[in-house]
Amino acid sequence: MPIALTMGDPNGIGPEVILKFLLGLDVADLDSFVVVGSKPVFGEHASTLGQNARELLDSGRVAFSGQGEAPRVNFGVVEKSAGLAAMQAVEHAVDLCLSGEVAGMVTAPISKEAVNLAGYSIPGHTEFIADCCGGTPLMVMVAEGLRVALITGHIPLASVSASITEELVAARTVALLESLRRDFGVAKPRVAVLGLNPHAGEGGVLGTEEREVFEPALNRLRMKGEAVSGPHPADGLFGSGEYRKYDGILAAYHDQGLAPFKTLAFGRGVNFTAGLPIVRTSPDHGTAFAISGKGEAREGSFAAAVALAESVVQARTG
């Protein structure tokens, strides 16, 4: 079965990186993918990339699905129409996954501002896709052997501490352990959990969440035989290189995990949504409006997202 590739925001670099990815494939491999979005949008992006891109679209070798009405492309502009088209592509790709017509989906970047202008009151792709297909999503950033997951995702920093409970820490840790086994083939996963406060609370001097919330949750899992450690100071774990000893890292909040991850692996990283009944990955970058339409976008992270989607499909299906 093919993998669905959603176009992302038409005014961003999504269509461009998809075209560049497809241009790098052998002709026979094009059948492994279906592009979800508007072909005319890709035509406008192809016009900035040269003859090879235009010939690829004109050849008919690229399968498109759910094109709908083509929005006008305004490179680098946040627009309601672009946000609507991006989300319609995502919804259609989820439907294709649930119906079994595709094996999984890789989503090009959306603009959260544009999709909210279009009436989608959502914090991002991850939560929306989970609402569509069920399951409890866990954001996992992946680059080779580095896997960083999040206890809390797209929420304001001011809300993080109150959101983290003993039950949530345990549930997210279990979800990461299960994904490492199911999706990555790690039979006996080792997971490090980061604390919330500087120096993981410094014994309660800099915060009590580690002692009152994290440690009880992790102790319960250790009693069940799970190889989980922590809570660790985030700076020390990454700064010392200790993160390399673990199959997965669980961060307390978005920037605690993604800042070191992108420092180590930007351009090679993949956003994988664990805990869903479907396979979904995404590149680790955004819409990059500043370079949209200039032909400067790099497709490396998108290609890595495709490779990971294919790997997870294989792991789940055997």
Closest to 42 measured CA to CA, from 84, 71, 4: 71
Closest to 311 measured CA to CA, from 128, 130, 144: 144
DSSP 8-state symbol, 309: H
Helix (H, G, I), strand (E, B) or coil at 303: helix
Same domain, 6 and 123: yes
Same domain, 69 and 156: no
CATH code of 179's domain: 3.40.718.10
Specify the DSSP element, H or E, that contains 141: strand 138-143
Q: Would the pTM count as exceeding 0.75?
A: yes
Same domain, 162 and 237: yes
Residue whose entry in the numeric block shows the structure tokens 């959603």 = 6
Per-residue pLDDT, 68: 66
Closest to 189 measured CA to CA, from 227, 220, 245: 227
Same domain, 28 and 129: yes
Decide if 126 contacts 90 (C-beta within 8 A).
no
Per-residue pLDDT, 135: 86
Same domain, 131 and 180: no
Residue 9 φ/ψ, nearest 5 degrees? -70, 125
Strands 190-194 and 146-150: unpaired
DSSP 8-state symbol, 70: P
Same domain, 33 and 124: yes
Q: What is the domain extent for residue 86?
A: 1-135+277-318
Q: Give the C-alpha separation, 42 to 22, whole Å.
A: 12
Same domain, 1 and 123: yes
Cα atoms in the 13 Å half-sphere on the side-chain side of 190: 9
Q: Give the C-alpha separation, 163 to 238, whole Å.
A: 24
Same domain, 162 and 232: yes
Same domain, 271 and 285: no
Q: Six-digit token pair at 301? A: 């992270």
Closest to 13 measured CA to CA, from 135, 117, 109, 154: 109
Q: Give the C-alpha separation, 205 to 197, whole Å.
A: 10
Same domain, 286 and 270: no
Per-residue pLDDT, 67: 65
Same domain, 119 and 157: no
Query: Per the structure, how many domains does the chain have?
Result: 2
- With a cut of 70, which residues of the chain have pLDDT below it? 67-68
Same domain, 125 and 42: yes
> Helices (DSSP H) in 105-209: which residue ranges?
112-117, 125-133, 160-163, 166-182, 209
Alpha carbon separation from 78 to 59, 166, 256 (Å, rounded): 31, 39, 28
